[in-house]
Structure 1
Amino acid sequence: MAKIGLFFGTDTGKTRKVAKMIKKMFDDEIMAKPVNVNKATAEELSAFDFLILGTPTLGEGLLPGLSADCESESWEEFLPGIDSVDFTGKTVAIYGLGDQVGYPDEFVDAMMEIHEFVSERGAKVVGAWPTDGYEFEHSEAVVDGKFVGLALDLDNQSGLTEERLAKWLGQIAPDFGLPL
């Protein structure tokens, strides 16, 4: 079985696209295929000690899901189903997509919801990311001057995505027991 689980929620497919970009950088022994949380089970997620979780922020700071007018279920519906999962001993890294121009007051807010959820259940969250190079007004996902995970803006800074991904994956590699 692969060492790292990669799970994402999406509405437009952009978070899935990033998950595929991440997967391309690793072989099947290291990383499992990306799984949309609307097709995942608690057992599948629980099987991994190392997780990368991705989410967009929709509208005014919402997780993707039916109440955010998504076409299908996503994180909003998945999280209650994994409420009893013990994340103690698991290492989790989070990436989030947002639009810092269109939604400057809620930029990548949904990352914080995922962060709080796994942290409250014992996970060690890694991969804090600097806010330098972004132009937004406010984000719930900023703690001590850094995002709680990798912030990506495919709407306004798509040209920086690959570089940011490579740097972030290199940053979290030691926490996941991977060579740099």
Structure 2
Amino acid sequence: MKKIGLFYSFNSVKTKQQAQKIIAGIGEGNVEVVNVEEATQEQFLTYSNFILAVPTWFDGELPNYWDEFLPSVEDDSLKGKTFALYGGGDQKGYPENFVDGIGTMADFLEARGGKVIGHTSTDGYEFEGSKAQRGDKFVGLALDIENQAALSDERISNWVEGLKKDFK
């Protein structure tokens, strides 16, 4: 398996905790962590395999650090690159746009030729709508620490096992 670039904000406590569990599941030697708030276009484009942490802010928005970073790669081809996405949302507080950030990111990556893997079932969630939903799947791992924290470890573990098979 090629080295995986795991991009997340080092300033997000919950996202960091999730990242640590993902790294432990994949194997520390297979993952390089990058603070997305300091990432450069050149650094981003060196990887073929990615895990991107994309929490959803407010009413379905990407975090500002992703909004600031994405323009640096919007003209680049991502063909041949594989992406797995995870992020937190609040299905009770924001049921109409639960984990929209994951869906917004998937759309951005796929429009540039990137392949998105790691789709997960929507079973067990209660929400009204999500940009991350395609049929009965999310385009990544949806985590709800606010309402379903007890399910997160198992969801992460199952997701990571699937990623090990999908990443080449």
TM-score range, shorter chain: over 0.9
CA distance in structure 1 between the aligned counterparts of 2:101 and 2:27, rounded to whole angstroms: 29
Whether 2:75 is the aligned partner of 1:84: answer: yes
Secondary structure of the residue that 2:146 maps to in structure 1? coil
Aligned residue runs from structure 1 range 1-150, under 5 A: 3-9=3-9, 12-32=12-32, 34-65=33-64, 74-150=65-141
Question: Which residue in 2 is equivalent to 1:159?
Answer: 150
SS of the residue corresponding to residue 19 of structure 2 reads helix
Decide which structure has greater helix share: 2
Between the two proteins, what is the percent identity of the paired residues? 44
Q: 1:143 offset after TM fit, Å?
A: 0.7
Q: 1:147, 1:10 → 2: CA distance? A: 25
Per the alignment, do residues 3 and 10 of structure 1 end up closer, same or farther by CA in structure 2, a change over 3 Å counting?
A: closer
CA contact (8 A) 1:111 1:149 kept: yes
Give a deviation string over 1:90-142, Cα, whole Å, max 9, x none.
11111121001111111000111110111111111111110001111111110
Structure with the larger RCO, 1 or 2 (CA within 8 Å, 6+ apart): 2
CA distance in 1, matches of 2:129, 2:10: 22
Structure 1 gap ranges (5+): 66-73
Can you give the 5+ residue segments of structure 2 that lack an aligned partner in the other structure?
Answer: none
The structural deviation recorded for 1:85 is 2.7
RMSD: 1.6
Q: Which amino acid aligns with 1:45?
A: F
Which stretches of structure 1, 4 residues or longer, exceed 6 Å deviation after superposition? none
TM, length-normalised to structure 1? 0.87
Q: Which moved more, 1:38-47 or 1:13-22?
A: 13-22
Say whether the 8 Å CA contact 1:4–1:49 is kept in structure 2.
Answer: yes
In the alignment, the residues of structure 2 paired with residue 119 and residue 10 of structure 1 have an alpha-carbon distance, to the nearest angstrom, of 25
